[in-house]
Structure 1
Protein backbone atom coordinates (compact mmCIF):
# COMPACT_ATOMS: atom_id res chain seq x y z
CA UNK A 1 0.00 0.00 0.00
CA UNK A 2 2.81 2.40 0.87
CA UNK A 3 4.48 1.58 -2.47
CA UNK A 4 1.34 2.50 -4.40
CA UNK A 5 0.92 5.71 -2.41
CA UNK A 6 4.51 6.60 -3.23
CA UNK A 7 3.91 6.07 -6.94
CA UNK A 8 0.78 8.21 -6.90
CA UNK A 9 2.60 10.93 -4.95
CA UNK A 10 5.39 10.98 -7.53
CA UNK A 11 2.82 11.07 -10.33
CA UNK A 12 1.18 14.17 -8.84
CA UNK A 13 4.46 15.98 -8.21
CA UNK A 14 6.35 15.17 -11.41
CA UNK A 15 3.92 13.49 -13.84
CA UNK A 16 6.17 13.54 -16.92
CA UNK A 17 9.31 12.29 -15.19
CA UNK A 18 7.33 9.64 -13.31
CA UNK A 19 5.66 8.32 -16.47
CA UNK A 20 8.98 8.17 -18.28
CA UNK A 21 10.51 6.31 -15.33
CA UNK A 22 7.67 3.79 -15.37
CA UNK A 23 8.11 3.00 -19.05
CA UNK A 24 11.83 2.53 -18.57
CA UNK A 25 11.07 -0.43 -16.32
CA UNK A 26 10.15 -3.90 -17.54
CA UNK A 27 6.98 -4.16 -15.50
CA UNK A 28 4.65 -2.15 -17.75
CA UNK A 29 5.84 -3.82 -20.95
CA UNK A 30 5.62 -7.29 -19.45
CA UNK A 31 2.20 -6.47 -18.03
CA UNK A 32 0.93 -5.55 -21.51
CA UNK A 33 2.43 -8.71 -23.01
CA UNK A 34 1.04 -10.94 -20.24
CA UNK A 35 -2.42 -9.30 -20.34
CA UNK A 36 -2.76 -9.72 -24.11
CA UNK A 37 -1.25 -13.21 -23.97
CA UNK A 38 -3.78 -14.18 -21.30
CA UNK A 39 -6.66 -13.00 -23.50
CA UNK A 40 -5.31 -15.08 -26.40
CA UNK A 41 -5.01 -18.19 -24.22
CA UNK A 42 -8.49 -17.59 -22.77
CA UNK A 43 -10.01 -17.31 -26.25
CA UNK A 44 -8.19 -20.36 -27.61
CA UNK A 45 -7.97 -22.78 -24.70
CA UNK A 46 -11.18 -21.99 -22.85
CA UNK A 47 -13.71 -20.76 -25.38
CA UNK A 48 -12.49 -22.50 -28.54
CA UNK A 49 -11.19 -25.82 -27.18
CA UNK A 50 -13.09 -26.27 -23.91
CA UNK A 51 -16.44 -24.77 -24.91
CA UNK A 52 -16.35 -25.45 -28.67
CA UNK A 53 -16.79 -21.83 -29.79
CA UNK A 54 -15.35 -21.76 -33.30
CA UNK A 55 -13.41 -18.57 -34.14
CA UNK A 56 -14.59 -16.42 -37.04
CA UNK A 57 -12.50 -14.43 -39.53
CA UNK A 58 -12.56 -11.22 -37.51
CA UNK A 59 -11.80 -13.20 -34.34
CA UNK A 60 -8.52 -14.54 -35.73
CA UNK A 61 -7.62 -11.04 -36.93
CA UNK A 62 -8.15 -9.83 -33.36
CA UNK A 63 -5.84 -12.61 -32.16
CA UNK A 64 -3.24 -11.45 -34.65
CA UNK A 65 -3.41 -7.92 -33.24
CA UNK A 66 -3.02 -9.28 -29.70
CA UNK A 67 -0.01 -11.37 -30.72
CA UNK A 68 1.62 -8.26 -32.22
CA UNK A 69 1.20 -6.47 -28.88
CA UNK A 70 2.61 -9.46 -27.00
CA UNK A 71 5.74 -9.46 -29.15
CA UNK A 72 6.02 -5.69 -28.87
CA UNK A 73 5.88 -5.87 -25.08
CA UNK A 74 8.46 -8.64 -24.94
CA UNK A 75 10.87 -6.78 -27.26
CA UNK A 76 10.63 -3.56 -25.24
CA UNK A 77 10.99 -5.47 -21.97
CA UNK A 78 14.40 -6.81 -23.05
CA UNK A 79 15.79 -3.38 -22.20
CA UNK A 80 13.25 -0.55 -21.88
CA UNK A 81 16.06 2.02 -21.56
CA UNK A 82 17.34 1.13 -25.02
CA UNK A 83 15.69 3.61 -27.38
CA UNK A 84 15.67 1.24 -30.37
CA UNK A 85 14.02 -1.63 -28.48
CA UNK A 86 11.59 0.71 -26.79
CA UNK A 87 10.67 2.33 -30.11
CA UNK A 88 10.08 -1.07 -31.74
CA UNK A 89 7.90 -2.08 -28.80
CA UNK A 90 5.93 1.17 -29.02
CA UNK A 91 5.35 0.89 -32.75
CA UNK A 92 4.17 -2.72 -32.45
CA UNK A 93 1.94 -1.89 -29.48
CA UNK A 94 0.35 1.07 -31.30
CA UNK A 95 -0.09 -0.94 -34.49
CA UNK A 96 -1.63 -3.90 -32.63
CA UNK A 97 -4.04 -1.77 -30.60
CA UNK A 98 -5.19 0.28 -33.62
CA UNK A 99 -5.67 -2.79 -35.80
CA UNK A 100 -7.41 -4.56 -32.91
CA UNK A 101 -9.88 -1.70 -32.58
CA UNK A 102 -10.47 -1.77 -36.34
CA UNK A 103 -11.21 -5.52 -36.38
CA UNK A 104 -13.37 -5.25 -33.24
CA UNK A 105 -15.49 -2.48 -34.78
CA UNK A 106 -15.98 -4.61 -37.89
CA UNK A 107 -17.00 -7.63 -35.79
CA UNK A 108 -19.37 -5.53 -33.70
CA UNK A 109 -21.09 -4.29 -36.86
CA UNK A 110 -21.52 -7.86 -38.09
CA UNK A 111 -22.79 -8.95 -34.66
CA UNK A 112 -25.38 -6.19 -34.74
CA UNK A 113 -26.48 -7.13 -38.26
CA UNK A 114 -26.91 -10.86 -37.66
CA UNK A 115 -28.86 -10.30 -34.43
CA UNK A 116 -31.06 -7.58 -35.90
CA UNK A 117 -34.64 -8.76 -36.60
CA UNK A 118 -34.68 -6.59 -39.71
CA UNK A 119 -33.55 -8.85 -42.62
CA UNK A 120 -32.26 -5.80 -44.51
CA UNK A 121 -29.64 -5.27 -41.79
CA UNK A 122 -27.50 -7.99 -43.38
CA UNK A 123 -27.45 -6.22 -46.74
CA UNK A 124 -23.87 -5.41 -47.75
CA UNK A 125 -22.33 -6.99 -44.64
CA UNK A 126 -18.96 -8.53 -45.48
CA UNK A 127 -15.97 -9.80 -43.56
CA UNK A 128 -16.75 -13.37 -42.56
CA UNK A 129 -14.76 -15.79 -44.70
CA UNK A 130 -13.04 -19.08 -43.94
CA UNK A 131 -10.11 -17.95 -46.07
CA UNK A 132 -8.51 -15.10 -44.11
CA UNK A 133 -6.12 -12.52 -45.50
CA UNK A 134 -3.80 -11.29 -42.77
CA UNK A 135 -1.81 -8.03 -42.98
CA UNK A 136 1.41 -8.31 -44.97
CA UNK A 137 -0.08 -11.50 -46.51
CA UNK A 138 1.20 -13.54 -43.56
CA UNK A 139 0.07 -17.18 -44.04
CA UNK A 140 -0.81 -17.58 -40.37
CA UNK A 141 -3.76 -19.86 -41.13
CA UNK A 142 -1.32 -22.30 -42.75
CA UNK A 143 1.41 -21.90 -40.14
CA UNK A 144 -0.88 -22.31 -37.12
CA UNK A 145 -4.38 -23.33 -38.25
CA UNK A 146 -5.62 -24.16 -34.75
CA UNK A 147 -4.94 -20.58 -33.72
CA UNK A 148 -5.56 -18.60 -36.91
CA UNK A 149 -7.88 -20.66 -39.14
CA UNK A 150 -11.46 -19.33 -38.94
CA UNK A 151 -14.04 -22.11 -38.63
CA UNK A 152 -17.02 -20.20 -37.27
CA UNK A 153 -19.57 -17.61 -38.36
CA UNK A 154 -19.06 -13.97 -37.40
CA UNK A 155 -21.50 -12.70 -34.80
CA UNK A 156 -22.53 -16.18 -33.61
CA UNK A 157 -20.40 -16.79 -30.54
CA UNK A 158 -22.37 -19.72 -29.16
CA UNK A 159 -20.85 -23.15 -28.46
CA UNK A 160 -21.35 -25.86 -31.10
CA UNK A 161 -20.62 -29.18 -29.43
CA UNK A 162 -19.71 -31.98 -31.90
CA UNK A 163 -21.87 -35.09 -31.94
CA UNK A 164 -20.69 -37.84 -29.62
CA UNK A 165 -18.83 -35.53 -27.24
CA UNK A 166 -19.55 -36.05 -23.55
CA UNK A 167 -19.27 -32.85 -21.55
CA UNK A 168 -18.32 -32.57 -17.92
CA UNK A 169 -20.82 -30.93 -15.60
CA UNK A 170 -18.79 -27.71 -15.61
CA UNK A 171 -18.55 -27.68 -19.40
CA UNK A 172 -22.27 -28.31 -19.69
CA UNK A 173 -23.02 -25.40 -17.36
CA UNK A 174 -20.95 -22.97 -19.44
CA UNK A 175 -22.32 -24.35 -22.74
CA UNK A 176 -25.90 -23.90 -21.50
CA UNK A 177 -25.05 -20.40 -20.27
CA UNK A 178 -23.74 -19.18 -23.62
CA UNK A 179 -26.28 -21.07 -25.73
CA UNK A 180 -29.18 -19.61 -23.78
CA UNK A 181 -27.61 -16.16 -24.09
CA UNK A 182 -27.29 -16.55 -27.89
CA UNK A 183 -23.57 -15.99 -27.81
CA UNK A 184 -20.71 -14.62 -25.74
CA UNK A 185 -21.37 -11.68 -23.47
CA UNK A 186 -19.34 -10.31 -20.59
CA UNK A 187 -22.48 -10.66 -18.47
CA UNK A 188 -24.46 -13.32 -20.37
CA UNK A 189 -27.83 -13.16 -18.58
CA UNK A 190 -28.16 -9.45 -19.40
CA UNK A 191 -26.51 -9.50 -22.86
CA UNK A 192 -24.07 -6.88 -21.60
CA UNK A 193 -21.03 -6.18 -23.81
CA UNK A 194 -20.54 -8.72 -26.58
CA UNK A 195 -17.16 -10.17 -27.52
CA UNK A 196 -16.36 -7.43 -30.04
CA UNK A 197 -17.15 -4.68 -27.55
CA UNK A 198 -15.06 -6.33 -24.84
CA UNK A 199 -12.12 -6.51 -27.26
CA UNK A 200 -12.64 -2.85 -28.18
CA UNK A 201 -12.46 -1.97 -24.50
CA UNK A 202 -9.20 -3.91 -24.06
CA UNK A 203 -7.54 -2.43 -27.14
CA UNK A 204 -8.89 1.04 -26.44
CA UNK A 205 -7.55 1.03 -22.89
CA UNK A 206 -4.12 0.01 -24.14
CA UNK A 207 -4.19 2.69 -26.83
CA UNK A 208 -5.05 5.45 -24.33
CA UNK A 209 -2.26 4.35 -21.99
CA UNK A 210 0.19 4.19 -24.88
CA UNK A 211 -0.75 7.71 -25.96
CA UNK A 212 -0.24 9.04 -22.43
CA UNK A 213 3.13 7.28 -22.06
CA UNK A 214 4.31 8.37 -25.51
CA UNK A 215 3.28 11.98 -24.84
CA UNK A 216 5.31 11.97 -21.62
CA UNK A 217 8.28 10.48 -23.46
CA UNK A 218 8.01 13.11 -26.19
CA UNK A 219 7.84 15.98 -23.67
CA UNK A 220 10.87 14.55 -21.87
CA UNK A 221 12.85 14.39 -25.14
CA UNK A 222 11.91 17.97 -26.03
CA UNK A 223 12.94 19.20 -22.60
CA UNK A 224 16.19 17.28 -22.84
Structure 2
Protein backbone atom coordinates (compact mmCIF):
# COMPACT_ATOMS: atom_id res chain seq x y z
CA UNK A 1 0.00 0.00 0.00
CA UNK A 2 2.79 2.42 0.92
CA UNK A 3 4.60 1.59 -2.27
CA UNK A 4 1.41 2.27 -4.24
CA UNK A 5 1.03 5.71 -2.61
CA UNK A 6 4.65 6.53 -3.37
CA UNK A 7 4.18 5.49 -6.99
CA UNK A 8 1.07 7.65 -7.40
CA UNK A 9 2.95 10.83 -6.51
CA UNK A 10 5.72 10.01 -8.95
CA UNK A 11 3.48 9.78 -12.03
CA UNK A 12 2.47 12.68 -14.23
CA UNK A 13 -1.06 11.34 -14.67
CA UNK A 14 -1.90 11.77 -10.98
CA UNK A 15 -0.62 15.35 -11.00
CA UNK A 16 -2.50 16.02 -14.22
CA UNK A 17 -5.72 14.74 -12.66
CA UNK A 18 -5.18 17.05 -9.70
CA UNK A 19 -4.65 20.04 -11.98
CA UNK A 20 -7.60 19.06 -14.19
CA UNK A 21 -9.99 18.73 -11.25
CA UNK A 22 -9.03 22.17 -9.94
CA UNK A 23 -9.25 23.64 -13.45
CA UNK A 24 -12.77 22.22 -13.70
CA UNK A 25 -13.65 24.08 -10.48
CA UNK A 26 -12.22 27.33 -11.86
CA UNK A 27 -14.20 26.92 -15.07
CA UNK A 28 -17.35 26.28 -13.03
CA UNK A 29 -16.70 29.48 -11.08
CA UNK A 30 -16.34 31.43 -14.33
CA UNK A 31 -19.52 29.84 -15.66
CA UNK A 32 -21.41 30.90 -12.54
CA UNK A 33 -19.97 34.40 -12.77
CA UNK A 34 -20.14 35.20 -16.47
CA UNK A 35 -22.93 32.95 -17.78
CA UNK A 36 -25.32 32.72 -14.83
CA UNK A 37 -24.55 36.25 -13.61
CA UNK A 38 -23.67 35.38 -10.00
CA UNK A 39 -21.33 38.05 -8.65
CA UNK A 40 -18.36 36.69 -6.67
CA UNK A 41 -17.67 38.11 -3.23
CA UNK A 42 -14.27 38.66 -1.65
CA UNK A 43 -14.28 35.21 -0.08
CA UNK A 44 -15.17 33.68 -3.47
CA UNK A 45 -12.15 35.42 -4.99
CA UNK A 46 -9.85 34.19 -2.21
CA UNK A 47 -11.22 30.65 -2.62
CA UNK A 48 -10.61 31.00 -6.34
CA UNK A 49 -6.97 31.83 -5.62
CA UNK A 50 -6.65 28.77 -3.39
CA UNK A 51 -8.00 26.69 -6.28
CA UNK A 52 -5.43 28.28 -8.57
CA UNK A 53 -2.81 27.14 -6.05
CA UNK A 54 -4.03 23.55 -6.46
CA UNK A 55 -3.80 23.95 -10.24
CA UNK A 56 -0.25 25.31 -9.90
CA UNK A 57 0.67 22.38 -7.64
CA UNK A 58 -0.65 19.91 -10.22
CA UNK A 59 1.27 21.60 -13.01
CA UNK A 60 4.46 21.76 -10.94
CA UNK A 61 4.11 18.09 -10.07
CA UNK A 62 3.73 17.25 -13.75
CA UNK A 63 7.10 18.81 -14.61
CA UNK A 64 9.19 15.97 -13.21
CA UNK A 65 7.49 14.02 -10.44
CA UNK A 66 10.38 11.55 -10.20
CA UNK A 67 12.59 14.28 -8.74
CA UNK A 68 11.90 14.38 -5.02
CA UNK A 69 12.40 18.14 -4.63
CA UNK A 70 9.86 19.01 -7.36
CA UNK A 71 7.43 16.40 -6.10
CA UNK A 72 7.64 17.68 -2.53
CA UNK A 73 7.43 21.31 -3.64
CA UNK A 74 4.24 20.47 -5.52
CA UNK A 75 2.90 18.47 -2.58
CA UNK A 76 3.56 21.31 -0.13
CA UNK A 77 1.88 23.82 -2.45
CA UNK A 78 -1.05 21.42 -2.83
CA UNK A 79 -1.36 20.93 0.94
CA UNK A 80 -1.08 24.63 1.71
CA UNK A 81 -3.61 25.60 -0.97
CA UNK A 82 -6.07 22.94 0.18
CA UNK A 83 -5.67 23.97 3.83
CA UNK A 84 -6.12 27.68 3.11
CA UNK A 85 -9.03 26.95 0.79
CA UNK A 86 -10.71 24.94 3.54
CA UNK A 87 -10.15 27.75 6.05
CA UNK A 88 -11.57 30.33 3.65
CA UNK A 89 -14.59 28.18 2.76
CA UNK A 90 -15.36 27.59 6.46
CA UNK A 91 -15.16 31.34 7.12
CA UNK A 92 -17.42 31.97 4.12
CA UNK A 93 -19.97 29.47 5.42
CA UNK A 94 -19.86 31.26 8.78
CA UNK A 95 -20.64 34.57 7.05
CA UNK A 96 -23.64 32.95 5.37
CA UNK A 97 -25.03 30.98 8.31
CA UNK A 98 -24.40 33.56 11.05
CA UNK A 99 -25.11 36.94 9.49
CA UNK A 100 -24.73 39.97 11.70
CA UNK A 101 -23.37 43.50 11.35
CA UNK A 102 -20.19 42.30 13.09
CA UNK A 103 -19.69 39.16 11.02
CA UNK A 104 -19.24 40.47 7.47
CA UNK A 105 -16.48 40.34 4.93
CA UNK A 106 -14.82 43.34 3.37
CA UNK A 107 -16.31 44.61 0.11
CA UNK A 108 -12.78 45.04 -1.28
CA UNK A 109 -10.11 42.46 -1.99
CA UNK A 110 -6.95 42.86 0.06
CA UNK A 111 -4.27 42.13 -2.51
CA UNK A 112 -0.69 43.28 -2.00
CA UNK A 113 0.26 46.57 -3.63
CA UNK A 114 2.76 44.76 -5.88
CA UNK A 115 0.04 42.40 -7.21
CA UNK A 116 -3.36 44.14 -7.48
CA UNK A 117 -5.02 41.19 -9.19
CA UNK A 118 -8.46 42.80 -9.06
CA UNK A 119 -7.11 45.64 -11.21
CA UNK A 120 -4.97 43.53 -13.52
CA UNK A 121 -7.54 40.83 -14.26
CA UNK A 122 -10.92 42.19 -13.12
CA UNK A 123 -12.98 39.58 -15.00
CA UNK A 124 -11.40 36.93 -12.76
CA UNK A 125 -10.55 38.68 -9.48
CA UNK A 126 -12.89 41.65 -9.00
CA UNK A 127 -15.30 41.04 -6.10
CA UNK A 128 -18.70 42.67 -6.37
CA UNK A 129 -20.93 40.26 -4.48
CA UNK A 130 -22.04 39.92 -0.87
CA UNK A 131 -20.45 37.18 1.25
CA UNK A 132 -23.55 36.64 3.34
CA UNK A 133 -25.90 36.19 0.39
CA UNK A 134 -26.79 32.64 -0.65
CA UNK A 135 -27.51 33.03 -4.35
CA UNK A 136 -27.08 29.41 -5.45
CA UNK A 137 -27.76 26.01 -3.88
CA UNK A 138 -27.48 22.42 -5.01
CA UNK A 139 -28.97 19.64 -2.86
CA UNK A 140 -29.66 22.36 -0.26
CA UNK A 141 -25.94 23.21 0.11
CA UNK A 142 -24.55 26.61 -0.85
CA UNK A 143 -21.45 27.05 -2.96
CA UNK A 144 -19.12 27.65 0.03
CA UNK A 145 -20.51 24.54 1.72
CA UNK A 146 -19.62 22.52 -1.38
CA UNK A 147 -16.17 24.12 -1.32
CA UNK A 148 -15.70 22.97 2.27
CA UNK A 149 -16.26 19.39 1.09
CA UNK A 150 -14.04 19.84 -1.98
CA UNK A 151 -11.11 21.42 -0.12
CA UNK A 152 -11.47 18.85 2.69
CA UNK A 153 -11.21 16.10 0.06
CA UNK A 154 -8.13 17.75 -1.48
CA UNK A 155 -6.59 17.99 2.00
CA UNK A 156 -7.44 14.39 2.90
CA UNK A 157 -5.92 13.03 -0.30
CA UNK A 158 -2.86 15.23 0.26
CA UNK A 159 -2.38 13.84 3.78
CA UNK A 160 -2.70 10.24 2.57
CA UNK A 161 -0.23 10.78 -0.28
CA UNK A 162 2.19 12.75 1.92
CA UNK A 163 2.17 10.06 4.63
CA UNK A 164 2.70 7.45 1.94
CA UNK A 165 5.73 9.37 0.74
CA UNK A 166 7.14 9.91 4.22
CA UNK A 167 6.94 6.30 5.37
CA UNK A 168 9.89 4.20 4.33
CA UNK A 169 8.74 1.41 2.07
CA UNK A 170 10.33 -1.04 -0.28
CA UNK A 171 10.29 1.52 -3.03
CA UNK A 172 13.51 3.47 -3.25
CA UNK A 173 12.17 6.58 -5.03
**Normalised by the size of structure 1, how large is the TM-score?**
0.72
Contact 1:128 1:153 in 2 (8 A): no
- Is the Cα contact below 8 Å between 2:3 and 2:170 reproduced in 1? no
Query: Are residues 1:107 and 2:85 paired?
Result: no
Query: CA–CA distance in 2 between the matches of 1:48 and 1:196?
Result: 15
- For the residue of structure 2 that corresponds to 1:151, the secondary structure is coil
SS for the counterpart of 2:159 is helix
Residue 68 of structure 2: which of 66, 69, 83 is its match?
83
Pairing partner for 1:219 from 162, 167, 173? 167
1:144 Cα deviation (Å)? Answer: 1.1
1:61–1:134 Cα contact (<8 Å) kept: no
Residue 10 of structure 2 corresponds to: 24
Structure (1 or 2) with the larger CA radius of gyration: 1
Question: By how many angstroms is 1:136 displaced?
Answer: 9.3
**3-state secondary structure, aligned to 2:138:** strand
Q: Which position in structure 2 is the counterpart of 1:61?
A: 46
- The residue that corresponds to 1:47 in the other structure is 32
Match of 2:106 among 102, 124, 128: 128
For normalisation by structure 2, the TM-score amounts to 0.92
Q: Is 1:142 the equivalent of 2:133?
A: no
- The secondary structure found in structure 2 opposite 1:220 is coil
Counterpart for residue 203 of structure 1: 151
How far residue 222 of structure 1 moved from its aligned partner, in angstroms, is 10
Q: Deviations 1:50-80 (Å, cap 9, x if unpaired)?
A: 1110000000000000001101110111111
Q: Would you say 1:155 and 2:140 are equivalent positions?
A: no
Rounded to whole Å, the distance in 2 between the matches of 1:223 and 1:41 is: 37
Cα displacement string for residues 1-27 of structure 1 (whole angstroms, at most 9, x for unaligned residues): xxxxxxxxxxxxxx0001111111111
Structure 2 unaligned segments of length 5 or more: list them. Answer: none
Q: Contact 1:20 / 1:220 at 8 angstroms: preserved in 2? A: no
Kindly indicate whether structure 1 or structure 2 has the higher relative contact order, using CA contacts under 8 Å at least 6 residues apart: 2
